[in-house]
Structure 1
Amino acid sequence: MSEPEVIRKLDGHVLILTLNRPERLNAWTYDLGDLYFDLLDKADADPEVRAILVTGAGRGFCSGMDAEVLAQSASGAKRMPSKGRRMTHAMSIRKPIVGAINGACAGFGLIQALHFDVRFAARSAVFTCAFTRRGLNAEYGSSWLLPRLIGHGRAMDLILSGRKFDAAEAERIGLVNRICDDGELMSAALAYAQELATWCSPIAMADAKLQVNSDWDVSLNDAEDRAKALGHQPGHRQDFAEGVKSFVEKRAPNFIPLG
């Protein structure tokens, strides 16, 4: 049997998902996307999973939509993810998603990378929006996400030009958090994900994701009030007590799983 288009591996409390079409630089298809979203949903519901790490097999992370899919779309064919999900479905996952961007990250591949909470990149990684060079606008929420990550002017440059840029520029403008030598990318990204899984409250991380992703649209006072309300929920109070106790006792905390 051939390997699945997304490989799943559990390493402790970190789920590693690997996009697995290396002969096509992991170009996106709807079948691959449906499997990827299914695995994300299962991870979100699994209390054993506390953090998710996503990377690509071979030389690329994701080179964008597969050429055959693009040709079908250009001819008028319409297809959306299964189960009523959006292309931005990964944004709805409560658990932290760390990206290990190991190579080409283009078009729809870049959009999926924008959904990660923290992005590591190989020194050899290359990025591009590419949309305007295919006769497309800023697709699938990239016009909302990219300016929030790197600022209006930089987002306009990348979206309008569709130019390629390297990992050094991606780090300089804030698109990626850390650059690693190619051979050290996975170990560094996994170590970071393991740190989240070991030391950070799953409930607190889930609520922090919700706050950061939605507090753009509310006032400072409303953001503060919601933080207070979340902090007084029962799970938070229990994890807060455990977090303080484990800090005093100099040990790893035993936080409530999120399932």
Structure 2
Amino acid sequence: MAYETVLYDVADGIATVTLNRPDKLNAWTRLMQGDVKDAMLRAAADESVRAIVLTGAGRGFCAGADMEVLTAASTGAGGPVSGAVPRPAVDPTAAVNARADFRMTHSYFPAIPKPIVAAVNGPCAGLGLVIALYCDMRFAGQSAMFTTSFAQRGLIAEHGLSWLLPKLIGVPHAADLLYSARKVRAPEALQLGLVQRLFPDQELLAQTRAYLKTIVEDVSPRSVAIMKRQIWEAQFQTLSEATVIANHEMEQSFGTADFKEGVAHFLEKRKARFTGR
């Protein structure tokens, strides 16, 4: 299936979703919103896919909402940027009973039962930053630049950013980035914890794929899917609640093919052959 605003590719168990409006620094539109969601759900439903990369074409990740859309909104001539374009897609997140928090406009990324890594190349601003932060991890090129930008447009912390950003970097740092809308270069982003890896620009995608290759080849996709759900849902749980859930999931794991394979490949000193079952 071809998309108008994103590229979709699967190789070696990794789906790559590329925002593809390079002439506009991949500025976000309603159509892109629909394309990205459909691509993510497609990757989630594909059993051959075990990890997902989200990146941008050209010299930027995503410059935020398209200024033409914002201009129309400021004059009352257009609807909100968040208006989604419906697409026919089966939502596999329903099968894992994703909580309502992870079924909103952009917050569905945590309900995708596969790891999502944002490979941030160049500018990552406004809504583009929101999208990157909903990924499980962020790897950045040396020239990457981050900014919330909302205060400079007379806007606010949208799509749950006021909940998400303080959890990732702490309240004072989140306040700094939101109130000032200042630009954060890649080295500072690494120091703050906005990103987890920093690579030369020309190596970013290859290094991101190399990291995900270890997840594809060496670990149980069932384990990863459940741990991803545990990590995100634990943000709403007490320690005792998280422990009870973990104990139940551990009991369930003992009866799976992946558990048996996990023990067997260790004892037999061979490469694992996990099936996700």
TM-score calculated relative to the size of structure 2: 0.88
Q: Deviations over 1:116-143 (max 9, x none)?
A: 1111100110100001111111110111
Of the three residues 155, 159, 166, the one matched with 2:185 is 166
Give the Cα–Cα distance (whole angstroms) in 2 for the partners of residues 178 and 234 of structure 1.
Answer: 31
Q: Answer yes or no: is the 8 Å Cα contact 1:230–1:236 preserved in 2.
A: no
Rate the CA distance shift 1:3–1:218 in 2: closer, same or farther, 3 A.
Answer: closer
Post-superposition offset of 1:240: 1.8
Q: What is the root-mean-square deviation of aligned Cα atoms in Å?
A: 1.8
Give the stretch that moved more between structures: 20-29 or 199-208.
Answer: 199-208
Matched, 1:241 2:241: no
Matched, 1:11 2:20: no
Post-superposition offset of 1:87: 2.5
Post-superposition offset of 1:251: 2.6
Q: Secondary structure at the match of 2:274?
A: coil
Post-superposition offset of 1:225: 1.1
Matched, 1:72 2:68: no
Q: Secondary structure at the match of 1:245?
A: helix
Cross-structure match for 1:141? 160
Q: Deviations over 1:85-130 (max 9, x none)?
A: 5132323211100111011000000000001111110011010000
Q: Secondary structure at the match of 2:8?
A: strand
Aligned pairs (5 A) from 1:1-259? 4-76=4-76, 77-79=78-80, 80-83=83-86, 86-233=105-252, 237-257=256-276
Q: Answer yes or no: is the 8 Å Cα contact 1:105–1:128 preserved in 2.
A: yes
Higher relative contact order (CA 8 A, sep 6+): 1
Q: Answer yes or no: is the 8 Å Cα contact 1:55–1:101 preserved in 2.
A: yes
Q: Secondary structure at the match of 1:61?
A: coil
Q: Which runs of 5+ in 2 are unaligned?
A: 87-102
Give the Cα–Cα distance (whole angstroms) in 2 for the partners of residues 15 and 117 of structure 1.
Answer: 15
Q: Secondary structure at the match of 1:58?
A: coil
Give the Cα–Cα distance (whole angstroms) in 1 for the partners of residues 260 and 141 of structure 2.
Answer: 39
Q: Deviations over 1:236-256 (max 9, x none)?
A: 633222112112223332223
Q: Answer yes or no: is the 8 Å Cα contact 1:50–1:257 preserved in 2.
A: no
Q: Deviations over 1:220-249 (max 9, x none)?
A: 121111111112226863322211211222
Q: Answer yes or no: is the 8 Å Cα contact 2:31–2:85 preserved in 1.
A: no
Rate the CA distance shift 1:250–1:81 in 2: closer, same or farther, 3 A.
Answer: farther
Give the Cα–Cα distance (whole angstroms) in 2 for the partners of residues 82 and 89 of structure 1.
Answer: 15
TM-score calculated relative to the size of structure 1: 0.94
Post-superposition offset of 1:194: 1.2
Q: Answer yes or no: is the 8 Å Cα contact 1:203–1:235 preserved in 2.
A: no
Post-superposition offset of 1:33: 1.2
Q: Secondary structure at the match of 2:256?
A: helix
Q: Answer yes or no: is the 8 Å Cα contact 1:95–1:206 preserved in 2.
A: yes
Aligned length: 257
Q: Report the AA paired with residue 182 of structure 1.
A: D
Q: Answer yes or no: is the 8 Å Cα contact 2:110–2:229 preserved in 1.
A: no
Q: Deviations over 1:8-54 (max 9, x none)?
A: 11111001111110000001111011011001001111101100011
Q: Answer yes or no: is the 8 Å Cα contact 1:14–1:52 preserved in 2.
A: yes
